[in-house]
Structure 1
Amino acid sequence: MIEFVIAVFFLLITPGPGVLTTAGIGAAYGFRAGFGFLVGLCLGGFITMMVVVSGLAAVVFSVPWLRGALLIASVAYLLYLALRIALAGSRIGFAPARQPLGFRNGLALQFVNPKAYVVATTLFSGFAFLPQAPGWEITVKVVVFHAIWVPVHLIWLLVGVRLRQLDLRPASQRAINIAMALSMVIVVAVALLAQT
């Protein structure tokens, strides 16, 4: 069980699309918008876990053309989120963000977030501590996971909000938004390289 907790902690503190988007939304739009996104992200993450635990993800990913289509959708959506963050609060750009990314975007992100599937597969296929009661083991893992997941993501949201509250010059705020977006693009590139 201790190994599971350590694995959850280190898998969650490493920046992925969910964490980076959460911090970016906090920096670009503030706490309220970021919290709505975070609630969607949490629910989407739970559903993704259940898709992995049930075996449905393995079935879907075993179909090569479907796996490729989902990868393209994932990359496109993550790049869309990065663009929205990069353009938030900026008057420069061809499509400035008018509305913050909220609950629906958080929910949708987890379905196309490659890290969500990798983390769920790693945590639920390994670290067996109740082999005689797999249902209880899954329940305990979900509770422990979320007991760590929620505070970690709230901290990242608050870091983003704090950046926003610094009342930086527009050029500095734009630079932070772009840096957050570029970080997401790097994560997408790493995920793509891992697929090859």
Structure 2
Amino acid sequence: MLIFAAAVFFLIITPGPGVLSTAGVGSAFGARPGTRYVLGLFIGTNMVALAVVSGLAAVILADPAIRTLLFVASTAYLLYLALRIATAGSRIAFVEAVRPPGVLDGVALQMINPKAYAVNTTLFSGFAFGGGSLLAETLLKFLVVNTIWIPIHFLWLWLGITLRRLDLSQRAHRAINIAMSLSMLVVVALALAYQFIAIRP
């Protein structure tokens, strides 16, 4: 179980759409909107985990067209979130973020987030504890995953909020928001590169 917990920790804490957007929302909009967004991510990741455990995700993702559609949708949504974070608090931006992301935004991101499916598939299909029932093992995995998931995401949210609370100039805050957005764009670029490599013969 310790190996499983370690895998959960490293798979979740590494930069991905969920944690990077959490820090970005915290930096751009503050604690309350950030907490609502994390709640949405929490609901979404558990919905994905349930889909993986039930086998529904495997059936759906077996279709290359659906996999491509999810990839395109997640990429577009990450670009949209990156734009909203980059333009938050910036009067000179050509698009101004009017409403901070909320619960539904977090759920939506996880439902189309390829990393969420990959991580949950890895965790729930591997790392068999042995010696017990499959149901007990699955429930224990849900408990371990969520026990680690929650503080990690609030850590990233706190980092974003801390940047927001620093006595920095408007230009510095704008630079931080843009840096957060660029980090998300790096994730998108890596995902595109991986997709390109995967489809090459």
If the TM-score is normalised by the length of the shorter chain, which range does it land in? over 0.9
Q: Matches of residues 1-196 of structure 1 in structure 2 within 5 Å?
A: 1-130=1-130, 132-195=132-195, 196=198
Structure 2 unaligned spans of 5+: none
* C-alpha deviation, 1:119, in angstroms: 0.6
Deviates more, 1:123-132 or 1:176-185: 123-132
> Match of 2:97, SS?
coil
Kept after mapping to 1: 8 A contact 2:70/2:114: no
Q: State the shift of 1:130 in Å.
A: 3.4
1:134-157: CA deviation from partner (whole Å, max 9, x where unpaired): 111110001100101100110110
2:15 partner SS: coil
Length-normalised TM-score, structure 2: 0.94
Q: Output the amino acid matched with 2:32.
A: R
Aligned identity (percent) is 56
Residue 10 of structure 1 aligns to a residue in which SS?
Answer: helix
Shift of 1:66: 1.7
Once residues 48 and 131 of structure 2 are traced to their aligned partners in structure 1, the CA distance between those partners, rounded to angstroms, is 22
1:95-138 alpha-carbon deviations (Å, 9 max, x no partner): 11011111110111101111111110110111000364111111
Q: CA RMSD in A?
A: 1.0
Shift >4 Å, 4+ stretches? none
Q: What is the CA-CA distance between 1:162 and the residue it aligns to?
A: 0.6
Q: Number of aligned pairs?
A: 196
Does the 8 A contact of 1:90 with 1:96 survive in 2? Answer: yes
Find the aligned partners of 2:144 and 2:33 in 1 and give their Cα distance: 26
Offset of residue 93 of structure 1: 1.9
Deviation at 1:188, TM superposition (A): 1.3
CA distance in 2: counterparts of 1:131 and 1:74, whole angstroms = 38
